[in-house]
Amino acid sequence: MSMKILPAIDIKDGQAVRLFQGDFSQKTVVNPDVLGQAETFRAAGIRMIHVVDLDGALEGRASNRQLISQIKQQTGLAVQVGGGIRSLEQIEDYLAAGIDRVIIGSMAVKDPAFVEAALERFGSSNIVIGIDAKKGLVATEGWLETSSQDYISLALAMEKIGVRLFVYTDVERDGTLTGPNIQHYQRLQAALTHAKVIASGGIQSLADLQELEELGLAGAIVGKAYYSGRVTLSQLREIDEDQPC
């Protein structure tokens, strides 16, 4: 397979957690030691991880910036970060700390000009647009609000201004182990001309990952499937061939 696998660390109150359908009240601590979890990934041969600052998503700022920069410094892993990105200064700070890619979520809906400015200043290789949707409509503010914009129209608008990488999450699948929304990924892939897509949400098995790879997706984020023991790090390492995405 040539799809990039990104194990996930979602940070809430300084701990690695998993949510169910993005619900902050349905939180499970999977490892109280975030740095230890990152080190486990590194030791298994994983090369890139997906880190979400859940506190930041709620508070609209880089709440766990220090801890996230520690992950980078101590493990040397490639790190993609999202959650609470609201300013160019935050993006610049993360990139200066060695973070490889920064995900813009809510601001893509609320202020497309912000995305344009970020692309112009930092380049499309450092900026990822995170599209989270409920029933196809884009969710914002840590998934607490739902906009009237559908995920395809937002993706096309972002691609038009130069975005080349998306993370797409079906919120209702996230943390449920019910399988990814294959139909949504098919539609998104068919609509886009240049940009690539990383899948997130609902992945429960190696078969799911193989199906996503067959669609031609650039990558897949694996969270609960790993933390619940459905897939092992050695299996993920075998799938991931260190393909760039």
- Contact 199/221 with Cβ under 8 angstroms? yes
Residue 148 to residue 226: CA distance in whole angstroms: 33
Query: With contact defined as beta carbons under 8 Å apart, do 39 and 123 qualify?
Result: no
Contacts of 238 by beta carbon, 8 Å cutoff, 6+ apart: none
- Beta carbons of 127 and 91 less than 8 angstroms apart: yes
Helical H segments across 19-161, by residue range: 34-43, 54-59, 65-75, 88-96, 106-110, 112-122, 151-160
The reply to whether 23 belongs to the active site is no
Among the options 10, 53, 174, 208, which is catalytic? 10
Catalytic residue among 13, 23, 111, 132: 132
The closest of 177, 178, 217 to 198, measured between CA atoms, is 217
Amino acid type, 40: T
Instruction: Indicate if 100 belongs to the active site.
Output: no
3 phi/psi in degrees, rounded to 5: -95, 135
Q: From CA 2, how far away is CA 214, in angstroms rounded? A: 10
Residues with a known catalytic role? 10, 132
